[in-house]
Structure 1
Amino acid sequence: MERLQKVIAHAGIASRRKAEELILEGKVKVNGKVVKELGVKVGPNDRVEVNEIPLEREEPVYFLFYKPRGVISSVHDEKGRKAVVDYFPHIDARIYPVGRLDYDTSGLLLLTNDGEFANLLMHPKHNIEKVYIAKVKGIPFREKLKQLERGIRLEDGMTAPARAKVISVDKRKQTALVELTIHEGRNRQVRRMFEAIGHPVMKLRRDRYAFLDLKGLNAGESRELTAHEVKQLYALANSTR
């Protein structure tokens, strides 16, 4: 038996807080009866409806995926481009990505059918570390890296403090590999940060998300998260809000 709002959140209908609001507003039914109390628990055989629509309940699944470049971080694409869920034809659950990586960016992406888990990790205040490896034009001097670390003023506001270090340089080609650790998830943020300091990104990969990495995976491959890893992510997100 699980709390009704948790079941609604897991189904991806809304966050747990929004699910509580739906219950209090009388928009949720259990076995045909309107429920307005938050303490109600339901089992797998109970029929739950939200706004008169039956809830489809699935066992939660969690995947770590190495997204290749040239793949859309979506369930489908109107232009017919390959989407991340196309790599999971063997999975019956209706999974979707947690956040996104740009079309031209590769690396670590989580996918799940657990709406509460996804909403929690995508909360703007979760403060979870994300580590990127960027191949950039030019070789950034230390002062440029300090600008990234202090924060860059972009059109949508100042970025939070970050960590940056040069991994390697190619003096002949005048390029560098830079590791950048951020805690936010704005649209094309890493690319915009490097553009702002005059070192446009040529290639970009997300190497780590919190304590998770890509070890053992090639582009296009995935693995299930362990139960312990899921619990760790829940605990980490809750501790940083």
Structure 2
Amino acid sequence: MMRLQKFMAQCGIASRRKSEEIIANKRVKVNGTIVTELGYKIDPLHDVVIVDGKRIKHREKNIYIIMNKPKGYVTTVSDEYSRKTVLDLVKDVKERVYPIGRLDYDTSGLLLLTNDGELAYKLIHPKFEVVKTYIATVKGKPTEEELEKFRNGLEIDRYITSDAEIEILSNTNDKSVVKIQIHEGKNRQIRKMCDKIGHPVTSLKRIAIGELELGTLKKGCWRFLRENEIEYLKRI
């Protein structure tokens, strides 16, 4: 059994104190009967609680997952072309989760999945400036002038990209491995930026979101985030 105001708070209606006010104002029914008693106890599993005409239920438990997405999967809940989605990799999770942002079909690496809409919004929206770090292999060797153009913003799809970071990690005669950091996430943005400076991407992998790193997680595998990792993301 559980006090009614505690149940309301756990369902996200209001704080316990505010829930007590709602009860006292005759806005709550339990099994069809208005309840005003503040110490009233209910069975959360069986009693029907109505607040302002709408039934309330426990919030679904928030789930936070980190995945090393392989190429060949789309970051959508479903796909009109019947391609495999990242949700096919987390079938053992009973809660309904969804990807935070996207990674292209041909891009691998760090992907977060959750049912926490507030956190998802914070990590996706550019105004919070969450840095995403990628390792890309590109054709040729970018010149310093081309790197500066990349860093200072490029016009793609009728908008100017925000400031970005890029550095060459290694190169051969026909390709370079570069580290790229951006805080936007527009469709195929890094590929389009590299195309713009004349060095198309041949492979792309995201390795970090903010300070959260992919680490040694194997391709196609996932794990639940640790408490300190969740707390870090919520502090952003």
- Paired residues, number: 205
Q: How does 1:108-119 map to 2 (within 5 A)?
A: 108-119=110-121
Tell me the amino acid that sits aligned with residue 203 of structure 2.
K
TM-score (norm 1): 0.76
Alpha-carbon distance in 1 for matches of 2:208, 2:178: 14
Tell me the amino acid that sits aligned with residue 141 of structure 1.
T
Which runs of no fewer than 5 residues in structure 2 stay unpaired? 1-5, 14-26, 33-41
Task: Call closer, same or farther: CA 1:71–1:126 in 2, change over 3 Å.
Answer: same
Alpha-carbon distance in 2 for matches of 1:51, 1:137: 61
- Aligned with 1:145: secondary structure? helix
Aligned counterpart, 1:104: 106
TM-score (norm 2): 0.78
Whether 1:77 aligns to 2:113 is no
Task: Call closer, same or farther: CA 1:119–1:48 in 2, change over 3 Å.
Answer: farther
Tell me the amino acid that sits aligned with residue 228 of structure 1.
N
How much does 1:124 deviate? 2.8
Alpha-carbon distance in 1 for matches of 2:43, 2:221: 32
Q: How does 1:1-241 map to 2 (within 5 A)?
A: 1=6, 7=12, 45=44, 47=49, 57-171=59-173, 174-236=174-236
Preserved CA contact (<8 Å) 1:73 1:102: yes
Alpha-carbon distance in 1 for matches of 2:52, 2:191: 40
- Aligned with 2:128: secondary structure? coil
Task: Call closer, same or farther: CA 1:92–1:179 in 2, change over 3 Å.
Answer: same
Alpha-carbon distance in 2 for matches of 1:90, 1:97: 16
Which runs of no fewer than 5 residues in structure 1 stay unpaired? 9-28, 34-42, 237-241
Deviations 1:132-157 (A, max 9, x none): 11111111111111111111111231
Task: Call closer, same or farther: CA 1:144–1:91 in 2, change over 3 Å.
Answer: same
Alpha-carbon distance in 2 for matches of 1:30, 1:182: 48
Q: CA RMSD in A?
A: 2.9
Tell me the amino acid that sits aligned with residue 185 of structure 2.
G
Deviations 1:186-240 (A, max 9, x none): 111101100110111111111111111111211101111112211211111xxxx
Alpha-carbon distance in 1 for matches of 2:149, 2:61: 45
How much does 1:175 deviate? 0.7
Alpha-carbon distance in 2 for matches of 1:123, 1:137: 30
Larger of the two Rg values belongs to structure: 2
Alpha-carbon distance in 2 for matches of 1:136, 1:189: 14
Deviations 1:93-137 (A, max 9, x none): 001000110111101000011112112222231100101111111
Task: Call closer, same or farther: CA 1:3–1:142 in 2, change over 3 Å.
Answer: farther
